[in-house]
């Protein structure tokens, strides 16, 4: 693309009449859509900017076309400021609490442990929050607070075993290096010991074969596969084994779900809630785009489906507003905690359509017509829908 | 087309017209290719409480976290009280006015906030080593 200098030089060479063309950019300013505007966030590519501080970036659904999400397209969720200083040399991970032998590990020491890889679909618990009615406070995620990557690093259980777990230890707490503003409670959460000792729960140092980037928790993060993203603490610096669940804001009242669906908009008593763990069954249509217009004829509907700790067994597509459903073809790439890409080929005649997708998992769960409303807008998983015009 | 412009163009030789057309196309192309940079951080809307809300909220947050909310007055009241508990500096005399300002500007009747995108750089998505 011509830069400004060469464009100026070019304009100098043309006649006085042609110089009038210099007015074109200002004339165009009103005609060009705002979508041309973009904010520079180094390392991130074409993401939806939900918040610049703290950094919260959503993947546009059209990025859901590769099984593994490239890191610059992977959603970013931060509760606080990212650590201002991170050094691979100075970083330490401490392991304490209900263990016989407290540990302090350097990154070099952690890297010497056996590495394990898990392809995991990570989804923010609040993904889809903007679609709940009535609306609830929080990051107003659309459909793209979810991405998939191959995470690698030592197993958490190998580290816990080196520290010699005591039998009293029932929960494992993670603390990250996030910088806490004001009197905000620190972002500390815990997971039950059974999940901590699962062979797929990691202290991840790599993502898609490269060291974690800062936005994704460099140099190490917890990776709790199949669970809401909040379980996978970034910039991990402390692991503490506890007798009971960690008592802090981000365990209670944060990140909890009603035991029973209530009336939308009605408050839920804290004692009638439980901590969020595994993700729901869910599918999203990545194309055609919602509100788009496509040519009549052979149409390709595609998307991704995931189910936390369960496996996707079926995705169905409706092209008639949910009256009839057709099986979609599932992509061949699969892993226990990873999404399945899916597609459905359809011959569309001219008209307006509501195209919908619904997934069913190995636990027999199917996406509902309406997601369970809850005061924090977690786990939105209603049948997905795009409206398209076929011409 | 205005008669004066038509007259002016009519007097130009064909070569100058071609150059003019090319220049307009090049200019359009260059402009369309280069996205106008959006502001990294946004401002809160005008109003009696704009300055105070900026001081109280944007100390920690960027304005977009507020611009994207569509909440009832009751929900804004809860949020403001939570943030005060977490360290937001709000004079007790300003609490009600701040809640009014937020619920007037960001309520469920407002259209959804259109978030901008981050810049796109060719090839920045990188390769995935499996």
Tally of structural domains, chain B:
2
Q: Is the per-residue pLDDT at B27 higher than 90?
A: no
pLDDT digits (tens, 9 = 90+) for A374-384: 999 999 999 99
What local confidence, expressed as pLDDT, does residue A229 receive? 98
Specify the pLDDT at position B20. 54
Q: Which residue ranges make up each domain of chain A?
A: 61-275, 282-390
Percentage of residues in chain A having pLDDT higher than 90: 90
A202-219 average pLDDT score:
98
**Same domain? B58 vs B13:** no
Q: Answer whether residue B123 is part of any domain.
A: no
What ipTM was predicted for this assembly? 0.86
**Pair (B58, B100) in one structural domain:** yes
The confidence score (pLDDT) of residue B13 equals 63
* pLDDT beyond 60 at A172: yes
Q: Has residue B31 got a pLDDT over 60? A: no
Residues whose CB falls within 8 Å of the CB of residue B85, separated by 6 or more in sequence, listed in order = A183
Give me the sheet containing A171-176, strands edge to edge. A103-106, A92-97, A236-242, A171-176, A188-192
Domain A61-275 fold: Sulfite Oxidase; Chain A, domain 2 (3.90.420)
Q: What is the mean pLDDT of residues A252-270?
A: 95
Residue of B nearest to A210 (CA): B129
Tokens matching residue A305:
């489906």
Structural domain of B7: 3-29
In a domain, B34, yes or no: no
Same domain, B18 and B64: no
* Nearest CA-CA partner of A79 in A50, A102, A110, A54: A54
Contacts of A129 in chain B (CB under 8 A): none
Q: What is the architecture, at CATH level 2, of domain A282-390?
A: Sandwich (2.60)
The answer to whether the CB of A356 falls within 8 A of the CB of A384 is: yes
Query: Distance (Å, rounded) from C-alpha A325 to C-alpha A383?
Result: 12
Backbone angles phi and psi of A23, in degrees to 5: -75, -15
Does residue B61 sit in the same domain as residue B92?
A: yes
> What does the alpha-carbon distance between residue A164 and residue A173 come to, in Å, rounded to a whole number?
16
Contact yes or no for B75 and A137 at CB 8 A = yes
Q: Could you give the 3-state DSSP secondary structure of residue A363?
A: coil
**Which one of B44, B73, B128, B130 makes the best mutation probe of the A interface by having the most chain A beta carbons within 10 Å?**
B128
Nearest to B125 among A35, A45, A58 (CB): A45
**B24 part of a folded domain:** yes
Task: Assess if residue B112 is contained within a domain.
Answer: no
Nearest to B115 among A24, A28, A49 (CB): A49
User: Chain B contact for A184, CB < 8 A?
Assistant: yes
Residue B56 maps to which CATH number?
Answer: 1.10.760.10
Give residue A232's pLDDT band: very low, low, confident or very high (50, 70, 90): very high
């Amino acid at each position: 693309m011509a830069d400004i200098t060469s464009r100026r030089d070019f304009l100098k060479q043309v006649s006085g009449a042609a110089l009038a063309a210099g007015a074109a950019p200002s004339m165009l300013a009103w005609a060009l859509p705002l979508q041309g505007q973009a904010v520079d966030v180094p390392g991130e590519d074409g993401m939806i900017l939900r918040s610049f501080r703290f950094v919260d970036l959503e993947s546009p659904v059209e990025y859901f076309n590769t099984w593994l999400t490239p890191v610059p397209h992977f959603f970013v969720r931060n509760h606080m400021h990212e650590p201002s200083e991170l050094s691979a040399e100075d970083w330490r991970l401490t392991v304490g609490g209900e263990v016989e032998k407290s540990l302090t590990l350097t990154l070099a020491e952690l890297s010497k442990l056996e590495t394990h890889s898990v392809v995991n679909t990570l989804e923010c618990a609040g993904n889809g929050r903007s679609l709940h009615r009535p609306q609830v406070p929080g990051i107003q995620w659309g459909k793209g607070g979810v991405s998939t990557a191959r995470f690698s690093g030592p197993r958490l259980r190998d580290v816990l075993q080196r520290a010699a777990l005591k039998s009293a230890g029932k929960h494992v707490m993670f603390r990250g290096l996030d910088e806490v503003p004001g009197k905000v409670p620190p972002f500390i959460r815990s997971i039950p010991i059974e999940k901590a000792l699962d062979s797929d729960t990691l202290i991840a140092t790599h993502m898609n074969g490269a060291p974690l980037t800062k936005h994704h928790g460099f140099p190490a993060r917890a990776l709790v596969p199949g669970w809401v993203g909040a379980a996978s603490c970034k910039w991990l610096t402390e692991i503490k084994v506890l007798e009971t669940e960690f008592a802090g804001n981000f365990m209670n009242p944060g990140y909890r779900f009603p035991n029973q669906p209530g009336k939308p908009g009605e408050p839920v008593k804290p004692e009638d809630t439980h901590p969020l763990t595994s993700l729901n069954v869910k599918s999203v249509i990545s194309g055609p785009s919602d509100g788009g217009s496509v040519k009549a004829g052979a149409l390709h509907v595609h998307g991704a489906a995931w189910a936390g700790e369960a496996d996707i067994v079926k995705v169905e597509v409706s092209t008639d507003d949910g009256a009839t459903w057709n099986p979609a073809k599932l992509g061949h790439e699969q892993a226990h905690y990873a999404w399945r890409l899916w597609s459905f080929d359809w011959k569309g005649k001219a008209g307006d359509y509501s195209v919908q997708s619904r997934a069913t998992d190995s636990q027999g769960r199917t996406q509902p017509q309406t997601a369970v409303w809850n005061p924090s807008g977690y786990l939105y998983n209603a049948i997905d829908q795009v409206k398209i015009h076929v011409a | 087309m205005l008669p004066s412009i038509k007259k002016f163009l009519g007097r130009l030789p064909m070569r100058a017209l071609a150059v003019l057309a090319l220049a307009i196309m090049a200019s359009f192309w260059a402009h369309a290719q280069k996205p106008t940079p959006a502001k990294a951080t946004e401002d809160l809307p005008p109003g009696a409480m704009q300055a105070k809300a900026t001081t109280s909220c944007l100390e920690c947050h960027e304005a977009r976290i507020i611009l994207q909310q569509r909440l009832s007055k009751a929900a804004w009241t809860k949020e403001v009280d939570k943030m005060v508990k977490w360290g937001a500096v709000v004079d007790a005399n300003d609490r009600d006015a701040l809640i009014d300002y937020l619920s007037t500007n960001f309520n469920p009747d407002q259209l959804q906030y259109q978030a901008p995108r981050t810049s796109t750089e060719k090839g920045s998505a990188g390769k995935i080593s499996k």
